[in-house]
Amino acid sequence: MNRIGKHATPNRPTGKFSFGMFTFVICFLYTPLVILVAYSFNQSKMMSWGGFSLRWYSELFFNSESLWHSFGNSAIIAVTSATISTAIGTLGAIGFYWYRFKFKKLIRIAAFVPILIPEIIIGVSLLIFFAGIKLNLSLFTIFLAHTTFNIPFVLMVVTARLEEFDFTIIEAAYDLGAKELQTLAKVILPAAFPGIMSGFLIAVTLSLEDFVVTFFVSGRGSATLPLHIYSMIRFGVSPVINALSVIVIAGTVVLAVLSRNVVKYMFQK
Amino acid sequence: MKGSQVTVKGVEKYFGGFHALKNVSLGINKGEFYSLLGPSGCGKTTLLRIIAGFEDPSAGAVFLDDRDVIPIAANKRPVNTVFQTYALFPHLSVFENVAFPLRLKKLPNAAVKEKVGEFLELVKLPKEGGKLPSQLSGGQKQRVAIARALINEPSVLLLDEPLSALDAKLRQHMLIELDAIHDKIGITFIYVTHDQQEALSVSDRVAVMNEGEVVQVGTPSEIYESPSCPFVAHFIGETNYLGGEVAEVLDGKHARVDFPGIGALYVYQDKPLSVGDGVKVTVRPEKIRISSDKPEGQAGRMNVLEGTVDELIYSGFQSKFFVRVSASATFRIFRQHVKYFMDEKAINWKDKVYIWWNDNDGYVVEAEKNP
């Protein structure tokens, strides 16, 4: 094969500039994380190094009940709100793509606008809304709030995936005798699964890390992990948070690798 | 159109202000390999989609075995489609793709296995059942799509440019196989294509479409030899297209026509002509003979012209000559290379040549009455 000119292929060796830039960006992104990991194993509570120790991890695992309680809250809300928002967002994306209906453009814009609205405004307006309908602030209101802000993101991710989807397969399914629901269950959803999965993972992530909106709509005893960490920091930074962060980072890496492999396994190219 | 299996009656289709189909009527017989041929945008795919049930006509009707199918949804019509992009389900194996319609009917596993095996055999993919579509070549994907469309045993198979994504060699090969499958199962095929070679080589009949209208329906040779209008004459194959005036009507099947810049030529005609009518005549390039020697001893009415070779294109199995016979007239001529060493004298650029053809080989496409 001729490898000159228009047959140029990627995977070239790097030059000085590209390598330098790469190193700089990697350092910039990861130095704070490396420091954080190091300090999670620090015996001393201060910034000075006091020797290696698992003290903060044992503190985290055996002496931080309220922290684990809020972690549980976060997990419940992340999974439930991501599930519901993925279901709604996916159906919405398919609907916008495949069907023709009145005011489609307008509704589509309205569905995407929440992404652009500052979180603090969403938080305040949800608080006013919940107060207006006399709904007590609890885990349930957090769940509603997270589902609300997750839907447009799922919609966006799934729509992006559907754009590269060959929609004749829907016609093919109809042609071969499938009804509307059969087409959805047996063709559209499985074929769009990688897109739906990435929508779900983004929703989980957004929900886990949300602070601003949650701050407005959480009630007594319904603090999520970010709210709990914030309240801890008000009384001085505890190295327990470092230990917790390391575990969260490790968990994220494992999840990312897993989801990549799952999708790869299901759609061997 | 009595006795037709598929009857299209006065079908109109508008997309907004665009008039995609204009009063289209067709009768397609049971078991026929019927092609809809035309350039892109001529409405052939729209017509196919209306027959399949993916589009509703703005007016008109479609009958299948004397039953009006317009009120019947696509998933209930006894027709199936092979799509241009194959439209295989990416998440299902080849076997499950073909089995899809049977699974919908909840057929028992053993029956599914037997029938899918039979149809994979038909398209010559008996061992590929376990693969995913992404692991197949283009030709193999097309075979799977054909097997999947046939397994429901439709009474009509619709094919929407099924070979256009394949390379030329494979296309020829698949075309022959498609023809063999048609012969084997014997159902009606409606085949949409923009490629006149494909349409001519396998069809029983061809409907040529242009700008939303059916301009001619006929067997491949009728369409090629007796085009009904200038569009068909130009769209199917290459031709010499000449305009002239009738000088003399001969035995009812022939006429002598004066062509400005060329002279009088004998032509074949099946229309009522009278002296003074303006006519357009097509002469196919392969029917014209070319030689550097003056033809002698030719029987019948022969048209003989003298000219010089303006251009000469060699392409292995044949050469194409552009021969200028006057300042305003050039003929294109194909000469087949039947033998490796040509008996005839080689003809070169700028050579003086004679070209000639039989009176039956010029066909009057359209005639305009002399007022």
CA distance A173 to A2: 42
Judge: B75–A267 Cβ closer than 8 Å, yes or no: no
A174 touches chain B (CB under 8 A): yes
* Minimal CA separation from A83 to chain B, in Å: 22
AA letter at A254:
V
A182 touches chain B (CB under 8 A): yes
* Minimal CA separation from A159 to chain B, in Å: 18
Q: Which CATH class is domain B6-234?
A: alpha beta
B279 forms bridges with which residues in the sheet? Answer: B244, B367
Task: For residue B89, give the nearest of A179, A187, A266 by CB distance.
Answer: A187
Q: Tell me the domain boundaries of chain B.
A: 6-234, 238-292+299-368
Q: Give the pLDDT confidence of B6-34 residue by residue, as tens digits.
A: 999 999 999 999 999 999 999 999 999 99
Dihedral sign (CA B261, B264, B266, B267): positive
Q: Give the pLDDT confidence of B120-146 residue by residue, as tens digits.
A: 999 999 999 999 999 999 999 999 999
CA A15 to chain CA centroid, Å, is: 35
Judge: A174–B149 Cβ closer than 8 Å, yes or no: no
ipTM: 0.83
CA distance A159 to B282: 54
B13 forms bridges with which residues in the sheet? Answer: B21
CA distance B363 to B282: 5
pLDDT tier at A217 (50, 70, 90 boundaries)?
A: very high
Quote the strand ranges of chain B, DSSP E. 6-15, 18-28, 33-37, 59-64, 67-68, 79-82, 156-160, 188-193, 205-210, 213-218, 240-249, 254-259, 263-268, 278-283, 289-291, 302-314, 318-326, 329-336, 352-358, 362-368
Q: Give the pLDDT confidence of A229-269 residue by residue, as tens digits.
A: 888 888 777 788 888 889 888 988 888 888 777 766 665 54
- CB neighbourhood size of A166 (10 A): 16
Question: For position A60, what pLDDT does the model report?
Answer: 87
B221 to B104, B172, B254, B262, B322: CA distances (angstroms): 43, 19, 20, 28, 25
CA B20 to chain CA centroid, Å, is: 20
Pick among 3.40.50.150, 2.40.50.100, 3.30.160.40, 3.40.50.1220: CATH of B238-292+299-368: 2.40.50.100
Mean pLDDT of chain A: 87
- Mutation to test the A interface, candidates B15, B85, B100, most A Cβ within 10 Å: B100
Task: For residue A177, give the nearest of B54, B84, B104 by CB distance.
Answer: B104
Judge: A172–B81 Cβ closer than 8 Å, yes or no: yes
Sheet architecture: strand order including B289-291: B289-291, B352-358, B302-314, B318-326, B329-336
Q: Give the pLDDT confidence of B302-334 residue by residue, as tens digits.
A: 899 999 999 999 888 889 999 999 999 999 999
> Could you check whether B6-234 and B238-292+299-368 share the same CATH topology?
no
Residues 215-274 of B with CB under 8 A from A: none
- Region of B116 on the Ramachandran plot (φ > 0 left; ψ -120 to 50 alpha; else beta): alpha
Question: For position A10, what pLDDT does the model report?
Answer: 75
- Mutation to test the B interface, candidates A168, A175, A187, most B Cβ within 10 Å: A175
Smallest Cα–Cα separation from B145: which of A191, A185, A169, A190?
A169
CA-based end-to-end distance of chain B:
36
CA distance B185 to B152: 13
CA-based end-to-end distance of chain A:
23
B152 touches chain A (CB under 8 A): yes
Mean pLDDT, residues B277-300 taken together: 88
Q: Give the pLDDT confidence of B257-269 residue by residue, as tens digits.
A: 999 989 999 999 8
CA distance B199 to B176: 12
Q: Give the pLDDT confidence of B160-215 residue by residue, as tens digits.
A: 999 988 888 889 999 999 999 999 999 999 999 999 999 999 999 999 999 999 99
